[in-house]
Structure 1
Amino acid sequence: MTDTSKEAVESLIYDLKFEGWDYTSEVVRDLLSERDTLQASLTASEDNCQEYARDVKFALSEVRDYAAEVNALRAQLQAARDEALEEAAVVISDYRAFTKYNQDPLTNEIRENADGVKVKPLVWEYHPAGEMASDSVGKSYIVDTRGKRTTFLRWPQGFAPEINSLDDAKAAAQADYERRIKSVLED
């Protein structure tokens, strides 16, 4: 009981005694019983609230875990999409380079006119980025093998083709080198 309620009970008891009532002890017992009932009800309510709070905290924890899983799956999905798009871009680029090279009239004419002429293979050497080959006229091919994808750092003229490996790079460089050499030969 609070001080105010104690004072109220004491005042009631005093008033009842002063007026000569014999029910004072019964009234006090009823008031104390009601107080105990209300305190028990309050304690039970507090216990229920604490239980509900624990349940809510647990549910929020589960929601956070599911949200983290969903975000991780979204990130994996985006990474897979990005990788697939990258691979598709490489395939498309390779296809375009292949069809352009094979449909190029100059390339076809050079092939027809230079049949039987042998060109020395390029000699590949170490380069800090990967490997390098130089031709006899001062042009060079530099292949970068440091990253995820193998790429050309230097290509003598025009645009370097998209490649997937060091062997592809060497083959593309050799084909370009032979094409350039054979293009300057006379019949």
Structure 2
Amino acid sequence: MTACDDAPDAKWRVPADDEPDVAASPATDHSRRRDGGREAEPRLELLLPDMLPSHLVPTPAERDRLEGVLTGLVKALQHPDRAVGLRRIEELLARVTVVDVRPARMADTGIPAKLEQVDDFDTYFRVDRIDSAQPASSLVRGLLQTSHAVMSLFCRSDQLPSERAEQQIAGFVSYANLLGKTFGLGRLQ
């Protein structure tokens, strides 16, 4: 038994053949691939590095929404009950939908790896490279997806050293604050 046994983790995995299919989270419908009629594991959507904007000015409405989501993420990550934090991250994922997302293909990796090697890496780690008309929302969504995956892992295992978990959580909080600064939000509360 782990501290997060009551976490709604079942919907984030493919059910075994003898299990009934579970409902998909509305937060990740566009980032999942169908596999034989069943939901596959969620995929992480990342902007291509050379498509990352050097300056982002969200609209006032998007800015308010992103500030609420990032502030909520920081609170969820810092919640003493990881199961509660995980559920809050799932709620935040449902709030961050990115409508205009397209698959992106790399023409050049910019690193010594070949395109095929990068594709193999992306396939193994379930990464989708995307192009987005809403890069700020896409960046926040990627952080939420990664935070959810890691918090889910923490909930499933008592074997992970707590100091390592706290370091990872602190990294997510730092990244949330960095995005907040990038979007002109200042330090998140």
TM range (shorter): under 0.3
Q: TM-score, normalised by structure 1?
A: 0.26
Q: TM-score, normalised by structure 2?
A: 0.26
Specify which structure has the bigger relative contact order, considering alpha-carbon pairs within 8 angstroms and separated by 6 or more residues.
Answer: 2
- Higher Cα radius of gyration: 1
